[in-house]
A and B are shown apart, each in its own frame.
Chain A
């Protein structure tokens, strides 16, 4: 098992989806990743994200990476 690297990055895809009235499944189809993978991202269980995936999500949600992620205080 890999050593879990601690991080304080939080993903706000839930909020962005709600504001745009889009479902996770619809976003997954637009972005070209599985719903399971997007759930991993949504639930802050992702350890890394490809730039191509990040670009596709930002295009689909008309946002920038800074809208999608934030670093919470320790």
Chain B
């Protein structure tokens, strides 16, 4: 028995988990700040010094709240794209057709998203916080951290995509071999 075999139940479990992760990301990145906005509660921005804490900011304008929501919104959208690409990738592999051009394209998109989205979210939040901080004069230290684990995950995914390119070439070589 191959205990490492990725079978149908593993694939369905992964798809369900991806869906749940996306929903949780949407809730944590968007629902909470939007809810605070609707209820008229102070805007929360993250200060990084000496420890990462959330600082309530009174008097934030609509445009400032929108600026703070821009990066998380884009992150949630691209997370959804990445999750969907992963589902399509897994279904293609399950269908017995892993080494085709569309699968390579999906892997490359996932690699780019893994590299760009976490970094973009961190950078976007940093820029938005700086804008709000400047206007409100809050004594807040905006933070930008490079998400190295996600960068590595993206680079590894890009390497796997390249392996799939070789696989597609080998598949072409044996297509029509009886």
Q: Please report A residues at the B interface, Cβ cutoff 8 Å.
A: 1-2, 33, 37-38, 40-41, 45-50, 53
Contact = CB atoms under 8 A, between A and B. Distances in A.
A38 B174 CA distance: 15
A48 B174 CA distance: 8
Task: Bin the interface of chain B by size.
Answer: under 10
A38 B172 CA distance: 19
Contact of A50 (B172, B173, B176, B178): B178
B105 to A, nearest CB: 15
10 contacts: A2-B172, A2-B173, A2-B175, A33-B178, A37-B178, A38-B178, A41-B178, A47-B177, A48-B177, A50-B178
A48 B178 contact: yes
A40 B172 contact: no
Interface of B: 172-178
Contacts, number: 26
A49 B173 CA distance: 12
A53 B177 CA distance: 10
Nearest to A4: B176
Contact of B172 (A1, A33, A41): A1
Contacts of A47: 175-177
B172 to A, nearest CB: 4
Contacts of B174: 48
A46 to B, nearest CB: 5
Contacts of A40: 176, 178
